[in-house]
Amino acid sequence: MLAAAILISPSGYAERVLSASLKICINDSVQVNYMMLEDANPSLYSSSGDYQIVIESLNSIPVYNESFEMNFQLLSNPPEPVNCSLKNTRIPYDPQMRHISIYKNTNMILSKDLNLCNNNGVCDLGYETHLSCTQDCPLNREDKICLGQKDGICDPDCSEGIDPDCKNGKLLENESLNGENDYLPYLALAGLIIIVFVSILVYKGRQDKKIEQEREDFLKWKEEQERLKDAGKPPV
C-alpha cells in the first residue's frame, strides 16, 4: 500500500529525494512498494550493515552507495521473528540516477531501472509524481504528494485547509491568484514585528542612557567625597 499523501512545504527545509519503500525478506526476495520523487528531508545516511543500496547512472557509474542493516523481529515483548521487514528511505536525488540495485553482502537481490516517467498519459502511483512526470501527473491528479501552494489548481492529495485553492476537495471559484488581500495577514505580521523590534530598541536605548547617567552621577559623588576628604571635611 502506498504511503499517505505527503505535504510539501514551500518554506520547509526539504530537498528533492528519491523516496522508496522496500519489503525485504530473509529468503533474499525484495518487493518494491513504491519508489518515487518528492520534496522532503532525506533519511540519515548509514555506512554499515550487511545490506547495500547502489544507484548508478545511465553509464553504470555509481552515484549513490549506502550500507544498512535489516531487523527481522517484531518490536514486541518478547520480540518475535518475522520473515520480512520494511526498508523505508529517502535518498538525496541526482538527475543522473537510472538504476538501483540492492545487495546482501555480495549477493544482488534486486536490480531495477528507475522509471519515474513513462509518458503514457497515466499517473502511475508509486513511481510517477508531478515532480518527476508533469505530463502524466498534472497537479489536479492524485500522485500521493501534496503541493499546497496557491496556483489556481486544487491538489487532490492535500488535506483540508492545506491547499489555498481547495475547499472540500474542489477548486475555489472566483479566486484571484494575485489578490492583494492574500498578502494583508503577512503585511500585518511584518508591521507588528517591526513595531516590537523598534520598541525594544527604544527601551534598550533609554535603559542604556539611564545606566550611563547613574554612572556619571556616581563618579561625581565619588569625586566630591575625595575633595571633602582632602579638605578635612566630613563626607556627605
- Domain coordinates in residue numbering, the chain: 6-114, 183-230
Q: What's residue 51's pLDDT?
A: 97
Q: What is the pTM of this model?
A: 0.63
Collapsing DSSP to helix, strand or coil, 40 comes out as strand
CATH code at 6-114: 2.60.40.3250
Q: What's residue 231's pLDDT?
A: 74
Round to whole Å and give the CA distance between 65 and 45. Answer: 10
Residue 187 parent element (H or E): helix 184-230
45's CB contacts (< 8 A; 6+ apart) are 66
- Per residue of the chain (236 residues), give pLDDT as tens: 344 444 444 435 579 999 999 999 999 999 999 999 999 999 999 999 999 999 999 999 999 999 999 999 998 888 899 999 999 999 999 999 999 999 999 999 999 999 999 999 999 999 999 999 999 999 999 999 998 888 888 999 998 888 888 887 666 654 444 444 556 677 788 888 999 888 888 888 888 787 878 777 777 777 777 777 777 766 66
Q: What's residue 184's pLDDT?
A: 66
